[in-house]
Amino acid sequence: MKSAGIQQEQYRYEVYLKNAGFILTRGRAGVFKAAMETHGHFTAEDIVKLCVLHKPKISRATVYRSLHEMMEAGVVRGTAFGEKHQVFEHVYDEIPHHHARCIHCHQLFEFKDKGEDVRYRPILAKMGFRILGHEMHFYGVCKDCQEEL
């Protein structure tokens, strides 16, 4: 499940959808493809914008329904802190990335990390939780806002 492999095979969404237990349909394939091609974060409406360009178009209802299914299947996940609507990201990033939110200007900064965070693993292992991935959320004040204040 490495990103390189997925890209080589143009995401092979047929395979991923079937492995996730879905039957392959025009709507799901379109939503899945749009999500995979969107880098970073996206909202449901971002996907709708891409999907209504199809002919015939993929409807808003299908986009929402498919995104739900893809969350169930673990293909995308919700990742927001502060927004009033849901924000997603797909899970096929090669390197885990982390977030830092400025509490003043609300800008979101991302940074990559090649390592693994080991501190918390024993705690979760004791709880019987199988970790598939992780992400850090920092909050603070960004460079520009420090100068401003």
Annotate 26-45 with b (16+ C-beta within 10 A) or e (fewer).
ebbbbbbbbbbebeebbbbe
Residue 5 touching its own copies (CB under 8 A): no
Residue 134 touching DNA (CB under 7 A): no
Residue 67's Cβ-count burial label (10 Å; 0-12, 13-18, 19+) is buried
Choosing from 45, 94, 117, 144, the residue that interacts with DNA (CB under 7 A) is 45
Residue 10's Cβ-count burial label (10 Å; 0-12, 13-18, 19+) is exposed
Residue 23, contacted partner among its own copies, DNA, none, CB below 5-8 A by kind: DNA
Sequence-ordered list of residues with C-beta below 8 angstroms from that of 112, at least 6 positions apart, any chain: 95, 96, 97, 98
Q: Report in angstroms how near the CB of residue 45 gets to DNA at its nearest.
A: 5
Comparing CB distances to its own copies, the nearer of 54 and 99 is 99
Comparing CB distances to DNA, the nearer of 28 and 102 is 28
| Token reading at 109 | 């900064």
Stretch that binds DNA, among 5-13, 61-69, 89-97, 102-110 (CB under 7 A): 61-69
Residues that bind its own copies (CB under 8 A): 71-72, 74, 77-86, 98, 100-104, 109, 111, 113, 115, 117, 119-120, 123-124, 127-143, 146
